Amino acid sequence: MPTGDQLAQYIFSGLTTGSIYALIALGFCIIHNATGIVNFTQVDFITLGGMMMYTFLLAMGLPLPLAFLLGVLAVTVVGGLVERLAIRPAKSRSIIVLIFITIGVSILMRGIFKIIWGKNQMALPPFSGDTPLMILRAAVLPQSLWIFCITVVVVIILHLFFNHSLIGKAMRATSFNPRAAALMGVNVNRMILLSFALSGALGAIAGIIIVPITTLSYDIGVMLGLKGFAAAILGGYGNSIGAIIGGLLLGVLESLGAGTISSSYKDVLAFVILLLVLFIKPSGLLGHGEKERV
Amino acid sequence: MVQGFLKGKSSFGLSILALMVLLFPWVISNPYYLNVVNIIGLNTLVVVGLNLLIGYAGQISLGHAAFYGLGAYLSGILTVSYGVSPWLAMILALAVTGLLALIIGIPTLKLHGHYLVMATLGFNIIINIVIIQWDKVTGGPSGFPGIPNLKIGSLVFDSDWKMYYLIWFFTFIGIVLALNLVHSRVGRGLRALHGSEVAACALGVKTEVYKVKVFVLSALYASLAGSLYAHYLTFISPKTFDIFFSVELVTMVIVGGMGSIWGTLFGTFFITPLPNILHFFDEYKDIFYGLILVLILIFLPEGVVVALRNRYLSRRQGISQTSFHGES
């Protein structure tokens, strides 16, 4: 049995990675709500965020806040480009074809990353030193606090955006019923474009804040992204509160499992949990299930 | 009448395929090409099974590389570590994989859409990590060597061209079985299932049972191909069976055309050697691979073979067939 101190330690580190999963899961949800698809380029938005940060911060020597903003902005633009160049021109609206277009773009993007940044592992410095702070007798890296705080801020901003801004409301209307939204004068195509840009921004933020405690390479986003997808499914796909809960839960359970059972099977645990939840509740924790239409 | 027409066309196609398969090694004797065509044969076997699931039952699996890997590793472990004869190991591997597919399939196929995609993907990741981590049994990341070749009496399948005939024998049987299934009562039930699960259910098709059966069948195809792969290359490593291979398998289904068994052949012949061909572009190969995939999916979303067939049919009949496959 782990001691109380260890337990606190596991929970803190679980909440840290869980926040990242939550951000990524939100990105998956936003695009799912706008288009009904799983956007696998989300995985590469994470990597690209980290890579852009590396370039702006270390290669160009810009100050941290500016590098952060420019990094997020760059991936936001790339997110929009993915929609504009690969999703919108598609001749088929079939979900599986669109999903595989995003997989194709994902392979293409990783190919480009390899050319630009090479295959070597890189590292980014933490935002504010690496002397652990003691919180509730658990050693917490300052970067973990950054991750946690930035996630909270992002979630609050998203909440305000979707509930109190006209564009946010239009995006929600589109996700409920694109046809009705279009009849009300909402430019549905623009909303889909925006959702790709927005999830690009979310992926970038996740990548930028996690890289200082992991390493950076052209495929760093793959496992993180898939866990984010798992978190979104766990919470109930398309449900943003579910995505946050799913992310945090997955992070904490994974961390507890790695600490108490086996660290080499850490990734297995995350997906076993996911499968068990789905077998018991096929629509995820907060999902209503996908309705069958005749 | 339509039924007879399809059957006639199938047997014509099968004869052509059989002839091409038999003659190929006499035309091309370069062992490198034979090796590629052998891998294409194995992929075809997996993808034919997968296409039954995706194209006919309408269920997407991103986990079939795991079944392929299970077949390969079970064959390898049983023959090398337990001294089981290769053919018996192959049958045991089929039994175990089939049973596992049944256990996984019953709860998984209750899931819909993206939940199913995630569940199968998760299953693949679990199997792959277990193969990597359980190194005492599986050899871990460095792979599992020394798997014996298959043999019948004194005939040992130890060369590319001997394996060529064996692999394509199984692949051919696999295609014949799939075509038979598609044109049977079960096949019609499956297509009804693809069209609308609720409608199929209302018409008395046991959708749950059908889905699980096809899932298990497709896992058996993959397991068989995996066993053949293990005895052919005599060395297996976990990387061959990761989620990226699952993605590639589904790509072959889509590029060939969902629900087209013949399209499957095109899909595997086109996608399997693509990385080798693109190797010429060295570090740009991923970019080209991704680009080709994206362009095909954007402009020929129903699959190349199906697109060409529709165009041909519509020209012959003077009516547009595309509307059947379009946005309706």
Query: pLDDT tens for residues B161-212?
Result: 889 999 999 999 999 999 888 888 877 877 777 777 777 777 777 777 888 9
Q: How far off is chain A from B54, nearest CA to CA, in Å?
A: 10
- In the predicted model, residues of chain A with pLDDT beneath 70 are 1-2, 288-294
Nearest by CB to B251, from A95, A100, A226: name it: A100
- In the predicted model, residues of chain B with pLDDT beneath 50 are 1-6, 319-328
pLDDT of amino acid B318: 56
d(CA A124, CA A143): 11
B interface mutation test: which of A44, A107, A116, A223 has the most B CBs within 10 A?
A107
CB pairs under 8 A between A and B: 133
Nearest by CB to B196, from A109, A264, A294: name it: A294
Q: Is B157 helix (H, G, I), strand (E, B) or coil?
A: coil
Nearest by CB to A111, from B196, B258, B290: name it: B290
- Cβ-based contacts of B60 with chain A (< 8 Å): 96
pTM of the model: 0.87
Nearest by CB to B254, from A97, A226, A274: name it: A97
pLDDT of amino acid B91: 97
pLDDT of amino acid B8: 59
Query: What ipTM was assigned to the predicted interfaces of this complex?
Result: 0.86
Q: Residues A61-93: pLDDT tens digits?
A: 999 999 999 999 999 999 999 999 999 999 888
Comparing alpha-carbon positions, the chain B residue that sits nearest to A231 is B118
**Cβ contact (<8 Å) for A89 and B118?**
no
- Mean pLDDT of the residues in chain B: 86
pLDDT of amino acid B48: 95
**Cβ contact (<8 Å) for B297 and A104?**
yes
B interface mutation test: which of A233, A263, A277 has the most B CBs within 10 A?
A233
B interface mutation test: which of A43, A224, A271, A272 has the most B CBs within 10 A?
A271
Residue A171 burial (CB count, 10 A): 24
